[in-house]
Structure 1
Amino acid sequence: MNEKDKEIDWDKLLDLMDGNRTGESLTEEELAMLAAAKEMQSRLGAEKFPEEEGWQSFVQARDRRQDRRFTLVKLAAAAILVLAIGAALWTFLPRQHTPQLANEMPVGKVRLKLSNGHEITLGGDTQVIQNNGIAAIKAGQSSLVYDAGADRAVVTAMDTLEVPRGLQFTLRLADSTRVWLNAGSRLIYPAAFNGPSREVYVQGEAYFDVAADIERPFLVHTGKVTMKVLGTAFNVNTYGPGIQTTLSSGKLLVTAGQEHTILAPDEQAVYNDKNGSLQKRTVEARVFTAWMEGDLFFEDATLLDITGYLARNYDYVFVFEDPTLEKISFTLDMRRPAVLQDVLNQISHSMGNLRFRVEGKTVHIMKRQ
């Protein structure tokens, strides 16, 4: 029996046909069946209604409303099927993805470790870190300032300032010497200079603008190289296999073991770790100091060298899909943007055969097809 047949009270319909019930409330299905039955009854009484044809007519009348509902069910099922197919196509067919951009900001924090072992995270609101007889220390969002106190005792314990990848930071030492620290660098120094000399230690890259003090020479140590100045401005870079010291102004004595050389402005000393040699050459100082002025300046540099710098300064990783691209050289001169993507756009504009694909914090370099 059809499910809709079960919803009809056939006993009630038979009683109504026999006249045993009146005023009964009927459903739409029951009203349709009652009308069909009465039509059959009248035709049979007039002997104008064949039995087989009459039964078929009754069945058709009975099922008419059910057919309508079944049609709606079929339409609904078809709609569900279309949606299911669409979902499957969306899931499995290849789609055009929006390229990811290299717009992520670095997450590292600048840290100051005081000589007493206390460690402080910098880069937020202005804060007074220390204020005693040796020195007063105040930190801002991107700078740190030391002011010498009244105590003139010799300070031997050292503070350490660490700048992570992707950030830069400036420091004013207690003698008013200014230091710019590039990404991934560390400076070790005393809170005050009360001895016969002023000595600091650097790893990474730093630019020094040394306050003049003829009685107390300023010494910068890095690895096996020492730089001695009275008042000058210079850049130190220890990122590579050797150590580069580039002079912007003044005069600088560079010593490595038994070797030494004196630099004039726009000269550079290069110490080779492998053979211990110290070489001097003439350079354009701005190429090596532009970073502290907020510029990106590369002159006839290889893409490998440029991406090495960008990796540190934006905290990304670069992968060359084609190793031959590492040796491509070109010149880049622009203000340092906040995000790496702007630099990649500039390089792509200058080198039309290059393409960059960004995946998270990794940049893939390939030839444009």
Structure 2
Amino acid sequence: MAITEQDPGGVVTLARDLIRCPSVTPDDGCGIAALAAVLERIGFSVTLLPFGEGAARTPNLFARIGTGQPHLCFAGHTDVVPVGDADWSHDPFGGEIHGGILFGRGACDMKGGIAAFVAAVRLYLNRHPRPQGSISLLITGDEEGPATNGTVRVLEWIEKQGQIPDFCLVGEPTNPAGMGEVIKIGRRGSLNARITVNGTQGHVAYPHRADNPVHRLLALLGELTAAPLDTGSEWFEPSSLQVTSIDVGNTATNVIPARAVARLNIRFNDLHTGADLSGWIRTVTARHAPGADIHIAISGESFLTEPHEPVEALRAAVRDVTGQVPRLDTGGGTSDARFISRYCPVAEFGLVGTSMHKADEHVSLADLKQLTAIYAGFLEKVMR
């Protein structure tokens, strides 16, 4: 593909092609296959890695060019969330361009980011046909879904192959309003808990003949939420516990229910671990409601990549292109970086995320070109 000023590295063309693949989780919609074909033409060795069975089968790929060090990996996902019920002004999978804006599901989250990195690699290889190190891509089709047969399984495969990278860059949309604002160097952990308190159903006029589980549930929730978990740490904001649901399924006004269920989520910083918080929840629950059923799921631990090289190289590349020094941040939700952090240092930088998961998701062509230039500059700094 020709490298032109209007489409540097083919970023616009590839972004449109990927958007036109209706890859709504768990369907691939040709997304992985289309990307694999492009990478093979560039010179990458591509391995398709589908994991899972039946409806849970997830398309993934790992592609690498070069065998030396340093080994830089780019991680991303071709799957997208559903179109939703809101009206779209443009075909969600049309890849339409109007007024310098590219529309479509996945435009900013994160097919645009993938296209920018591939375009940056094209530009880099045009200048350095035989790079000293190696560049790889870890692409999954299951980031927006359960995330069980995607990045986690690919990382296990990469480790067995002895190909763990020295650093990984995740192309999630990190910028709140404009390019160059934020680099993510960590994420909070996330814990979900469901607590079921069992009691004895009875008439509200005869409470001594019943055992009201709601009262005990409220007492334990009161203790869990009575004080902040912490006041934050050097790189993280304070941890947050939020009760998300309290249900008894009671349609009567004169009946004490037999059970009460609460759900809560904790987004926790590096002062805690999922295991420590789980133990605390169980201890408090036992104090107020012995015998309660507790189910806890930890979707990820907190992690932090110290802001040394190559984070500083990424920061410098952003400054060179945008003119501003990006803020290093650990806020927001979770991403596949939580899995990658178990294997190597990882940071996240991508497009502006204001339209992700919305109707008429879009990205400006100017931002696509800027991101391509940033990634290309980053490659120049870390692959020398």
Q: Same fold (TM over 0.5)?
A: no
Question: Shorter-normalised TM-score: what interval?
Answer: under 0.3
For normalisation by structure 1, the TM-score amounts to 0.19
| Higher percent of residues as strand | 1
Greater relative CO (CA pairs within 8 A, separation 6+)? 2
